[in-house]
Structure 1
């Protein structure tokens, strides 16, 4: 049984990852900003009361990150897997302002996206490093995007989202260089265009397939892959 922390576990891909890990018997710390309001997460907890532990976590709030660490630490002395899944894409839904196009860009909009998608994951990883060091063959998987690839980038919009994922890539590439000394493997994963609230109904990939691929990557990672950027199918993504 692996001990797993998943951020943004209340919906979409994070919820599907939680479900699949529970189905195979693992212990999941499912983190979200308002777990008490996460209906589907509560249903899973009722089904797996001994394996699912909802955790309150806002990745943009350092006090919340510290409190989440204390809550998880009270339940376990180690983690095998951390999945940095929580993220935002302003404009993903029709009723949400985007501010990611040229002419609409604002500094505050950039800060909000960057704080959630790039700073949040590195601060969470830093805070939970002690538990990962106590885990068995610990892994950190941070969900990036092909839009964060400088090589693949061929459009303007979305400016902030793309920049935040490129920044996340650098943070996690830097992290890999250090945590590798502890035997921890850290990689970035492009989950694909997933049919979720963020990806939209026109997305080509069901969450179940993407989650299954991400879990397979976590299970099969080798030391030489530390610091790599992969698709959900395990193929290399150019930086």
Structure 2
């Protein structure tokens, strides 16, 4: 068992040390937090904490485990990094029709948009490594995070994301995929 706190860089480095020499075919960065904050209630602390967990943590984990991903890509042809993001990280989806969701996520939305940009930058900067980098929107999932108002069961979201990941190739690197057919198509706008 490897204990890892994605917001603690020393914990990330220690986990990578324990995994030294172990190929990683698939890395799913799923750690995330959401604080319901509107224009008046959003605080600097809320912004910083959500950026730390939702964008910086996945970057640190991916960077630390890059040697493991490279080992897998050399052995098996490709490796994959799937970042679990959110529709709320899509600037293109931030419309008047979606204002109800975006207006309660002043810090969360930009933290997920930052994760999307980190993922896209990794896909461009490391394109020749044969590591596929994608961002996934799990959908509006029925969880504690939304007071169980979601339209997807967790198992449905997981199955949809697993199907997306199972069918990826290098031509898909850098894309933002949607696991929830209720909100848009398979490809989401940045």
What TM-score do you get using the length of structure 1 for normalisation? Answer: 0.70
Report the Cα distance in structure 2 between the residues aligned to 1:200 and 1:191, rounded to whole angstroms. 16
Q: C-alpha displacement at 1:102, in angstroms? A: 1.2
Q: How does 1:132-151 map to 2 (within 5 A)?
A: 132-135=69-72, 136=76, 137-151=78-92
1:223 aligns with 2:164: no
Alignment of 1:9-158 (within 5 A): 54-73=1-20, 77-90=22-35, 98=36, 100-135=37-72, 136=76, 137-154=78-95, 155=99, 156-158=103-105
Distance 2:151 2:66 in 1: 35
Under a length normalisation based on structure 2, what TM-score does the superposition of the two structures give? 0.87
Separation in structure 2 between the aligned mates of residue 161 and residue 103 of structure 1, nearest angstrom: 14
Offset of residue 114 of structure 1: 0.4
8 Å contact kept, 1:194–1:210: yes
Q: How far does the alpha carbon of each residue in 1:148-176 deviate from its partner, in whole angstroms, 9 at most, with x for none?
A: 11111132221000010111111110011
Structure 2 CA distance, aligned partners of 1:209 and 1:72? 31
Identify unmatched segments of 5+ residues in structure 1: 1-53, 91-97
Take 2:25 and 2:186, find their aligned partners in 1: how far apart are those partners? 23
C-alpha distance in structure 2 between counterparts of 1:80 and 1:129, whole Å = 11
Distance 1:199 1:104, change over 3 A: closer
> SS in structure 2 opposite 1:208?
helix
Deviation by residue 1:18-52 (Cα, 9 ceiling, x = unmatched): xxxxxxxxxxxxxxxxxxxxxxxxxxxxxxxxxxx
Shift of 1:179: 2.2
2: CA distance, partners of 1:187 / 1:194: 19
Alpha-carbon shift at residue 82 of structure 1 (Å): 0.3
> Hey, what's the Cα distance between the residues in 1 that align with 2:66 and 2:147?
33
Cα RMSD after superposing both structures: 1.5
Partners of 2:92 and 2:47 lie apart in 1 by 22
Q: Contact 1:193–1:205 at 8 Å: present in 2 too?
A: yes
2:148 & 2:41 partners in 1: Cα distance? 25
Report the CA distance between 1:197 and its aligned residue. 2.3
1:198 counterpart SS class: helix
- Quote the Cα distance in structure 1 between the aligned partners of 2:34 and 2:82: 19
Q: Which has the higher contact order (CA 8 A, sep 6+)?
A: 2
Superposition pairs of residues 159-170 of structure 1, within 5 angstroms: 159-170=106-117
Distance 1:199 1:103 in 2: 20
